[in-house]
């Protein structure tokens, strides 16, 4: 069965190029020209992945992303000319799975689309825990993760994490003595080859720290080993 992609792009030249190329690669592409049309199509039929521009008429890409994430964990790749760490952090923080900046090569875009589809298929077919835990509850200082229902709390108050943030934290909690490079994290959580794009790891790690650390700029739960990687903090 062909993979169905919802392409949300208002630029005719880019939209037609992407739609044509992905169709030749065997994907079924449905093209929405603005945010409102994309939201309507999303509610009417099933898609396997969304390619989302941020600068859209009627309903902007970030608002569309938030509305989709309220109902679905579908892979979402942001494709936008809005570059810079702030925009990337906002997009990934709201639940996007990847980011590719315009201009881009169709070979790279196709590779990222295929990787996202493989990750989503693997995630739906396997347990979400990267490593099987021996206990249903893991507690580190004031932070606790219930491995049965995959919830995280701090001082008894639940912390809302995205699926990737949850998997990253789970990786550290279930391997408390291990040091992880960015490549190790990507391969363990995304279950795919590492493209060398550190931004994906940096953004997810930053967002995770904002949620679990008392002082995100001075993290205690996930420590940085400069030039090496990360490890779980000791209390």
pLDDT interval class at 122 (50, 70, 90)? low
Q: Is the pLDDT of residue 193 over 90?
A: no
CA 105-204-86 angle, to 5 degrees, is 70
Q: What structural domains does the chain harbor?
A: 4-125 (3.40.50.2300), 137-232 (1.10.10.10)
Instruction: Check residue 84 and give its pLDDT.
Output: 58
Tell me which DSSP letter residue 218 carries: S
Lowest-confidence pick of 123-127, 215-219, 221-225: 123-127
pLDDT interval class at 86 (50, 70, 90)? very low
- pLDDT, mean over the chain: 82
Residues contacting 227, CB < 8 A, separation 6+: none
Task: Give the Cβ contact number of residue 86 at 10 Å.
Answer: 9
């Amino acid at each position: 069965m062909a993979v169905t992609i919802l392409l949300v792009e208002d630029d005719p030249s880019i939209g037609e190029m992407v739609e044509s190329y992905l169709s030749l690669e065997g994907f079924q592409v449905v093209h929405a020209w603005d945010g409102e049309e994309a939201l309507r199509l999303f509610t009417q039929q099933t898609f396997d992945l969304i390619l989302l521009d941020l600068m859209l008429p009627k309903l902007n890409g970030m608002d569309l992303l938030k509305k989709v994430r309220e109902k679905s964990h579908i892979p979402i790749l942001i494709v936008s000319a809005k570059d810079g760490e702030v925009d990337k952090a906002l997009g990934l923080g709201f639940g996007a799975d990847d980011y590719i900046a315009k201009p881009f090569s169709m070979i790279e875009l196709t590779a990222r689309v295929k990787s996202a589809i493989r990750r989503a298929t693997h995630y739906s077919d396997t347990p979400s825990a990267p490593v099987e835990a021996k206990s249903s509850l893991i507690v580190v200082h004031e932070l606790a993760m219930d491995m049965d229902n995959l919830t995280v709390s701090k001082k008894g108050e639940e912390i809302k994490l995205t699926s990737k943030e949850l998997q990253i934290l789970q990786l550290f909690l279930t391997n408390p003595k291990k040091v992880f490079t960015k490549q190790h994290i990507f391969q363990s959580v995304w279950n795919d080859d590492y493209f060398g794009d550190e931004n994906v790891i940096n953004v997810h790690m930053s967002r995770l720290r904002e949620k679990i650390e008392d002082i995100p700029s001075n993290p205690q739960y996930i420590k940085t080993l400069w030039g090496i990687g990360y490890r779980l903090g000791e209390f």
